[in-house]
Amino acid sequence: MSLKPDEIRAMKPEERLKKLQELKLELMRLRTQAAMGTLDNPGKIRAIRKTIARILTIQREEELKKLREGGKKRRK
């Protein structure tokens, strides 16, 4: 279930947002199962949380990259 950073970077921003929403829904479903005691693989929650963090980190990296590029253009 976990995506590698290179796979995430290869996605378009729209695809990343869609995947992020899917993972958040899956995480909510798994947490509900954990609360009811019917969760088969508790490690899956951790893997999904890490994947969500990877996606958010890469999105932030790209935001900062755009800001840095914009600042360089203004200085010249």
CA distance 28 to 40: 15
Q: Quick one: fold of 5-75? A: Helix Hairpins (1.10.287)
What pTM was computed for the model?
Answer: 0.87
One digit per residue, the tens of pLDDT, for the chain of length 76 reads 689 999 999 999 999 999 999 999 999 999 999 999 999 999 999 999 999 999 999 999 999 999 998 877 655 5
CA dist list (Å): 20 to 4, 9, 41, 45, 70: 14, 13, 21, 14, 27
Domain-wise residue ranges, the chain: 5-75
